[in-house]
Structure 1
Amino acid sequence: MLGAGSWGTTFAKVLADAGTDVTLWARRTEVAEEINSTRVNAGYLPGIVLPQRLRATDDAAEAMHGTDAVVLAVPSQTLRENLAGWQPLLPERATLVSLAKGVELSTLKRMSEVVSEVADVAMEQVAVVSGPNLAREIAAEQPTATVVACNDHDRAVALQQACSTPYFRPYTNTDLVGIELAGACKNVIALACGMAVGLGYGHNTMSSLITRGLAETTRLGVALGAEPMTFAGLAGLGDLVATCMSPLSRNRTFGERLGRGETLAQAQDAAHGQVAEGVKSCSSIRQLAARTGVEMPITDVVHRVCHEGLEPGPAAAELLGRERKAE
Structure 2
Amino acid sequence: MQRDRLKNIATGAIGGVLIVLLLLFILPIDVVYEVKVDTRTYPTKEWKLIQEGSQFRTVSLDNSGSQAPTEKNFVFDRGDVIDIRFNEEIASGEFVDQGETLLQFSSMMHNLRIQRALNEIEINESRKVAGNAAMKWPLLREAEDAVELARSNVRLQEANHQRLAQLKDDGVISQAELDAQVNRLEVARQELAIAEQRVANASFEQKPEDVAVFNTVIETVDKELDVLLAQQGSYTLKSPFEGRLQLQPAEGVVLSLVDTTSISLVFPFPIDQRQYLQKNSLLEFESESDVHHLSFDLKDQAAIIQGDQQCLGVAHLEGEQLVMGAMRPASVICDTVRLREYLFRKLL
TM-score by length of 2: 0.19
TM-score by length of 1: 0.19
Q: Which structure shows the bigger proportion of residues in strand conformation? A: 2
Higher radius of gyration, 1 or 2: 2
- If asked which structure has higher relative contact order (CA below 8 Å, sep 6+), I would say 2
